[in-house]
Amino acid sequence: MENLKRYILDRVSVDEDEMSRILRYFRPMQLGRNRHLLRRGQIASGYVFIEEGCLRIYYHRDEQEITGWATCRNLIFTDLSSLLSRQPSVFNIQALESSRLYLISHQDMQHLYDTIPKWQELGRKLWEEAFVSVLNMIVSYQTETAEERYERLLAEPGLLQKVPLKHLATFLGITPSSLSRLRRNRK
């Protein structure tokens, strides 16, 4: 839980009492390799913090799995669309390796927003970061080549080591053979 505590303190300053109250709402969870946190058709019920491990979000198109995003770092996230609309998710969230997570329900998150003002600030910062990340991804797909997107991925070695190439290829919007060519040409 130290990573979660550090993640929070890197974004907002809360005192020890507030931190203790916040952390009580997070429940530990182990998710085995290839197990799902959320499947298409389910409704997201809360937020997750990745203490250790690697998760990917994917969807199906023409009977192919398309990886929309993957992370192997400390992060709080959810399928926000499903969570807020209470509609079934169109995404799957899967562990790419055995992962240790902390979950907080939507109701508990709302309770913290209502009772700890700094938690509202954290929520705002989380979604600002998420929005900028998504915006950068959209711009990247509109202005960069697959090779340029791959070069940027090289800055995140955890992803390249832990995410199978077939998933990285769909994330980059290319075929696995094209990714193999990119990797070969880079050496």
How high is the pLDDT of residue 74?
85
Please report, for residues 22, 48, 139, the alpha-carbon distance to residue 74 in angstroms, rounded to integers and kept in the order given: 17, 10, 24
Q: Is the pLDDT of residue 127 over 70?
A: yes
How high is the pLDDT of residue 156?
78
Measured CA to CA, the distance from residue 80 to residue 67 in angstroms comes to 17
| Strand boundaries in 2-155, DSSP class E | 27-31, 36-38, 46-52, 55-61, 64-71, 76-77, 92-95, 99-105
What residues does each domain of the chain span?
A: 2-127, 144-187
Q: Is the pLDDT of residue 108 over 80?
A: yes
106: number of CA atoms within 13 Å, CB side? Answer: 13
58 token code pair? 């994917």
In tens, the pLDDT along 74-90 reads 888 899 899 999 999 99
Q: What pTM, to 2 d.p., does this model score?
A: 0.87
Calculate the average pLDDT of the chain.
92
Measured CA to CA, the distance from residue 111 to residue 64 in angstroms comes to 39
CATH class assigned to 2-127: mainly beta
φ/ψ of 31, rounded to 5, equals -130, 115
Measured CA to CA, the distance from residue 2 to residue 40 in angstroms comes to 31
CA-based nearest residue to 41, from 79, 84, 3, 88 = 88
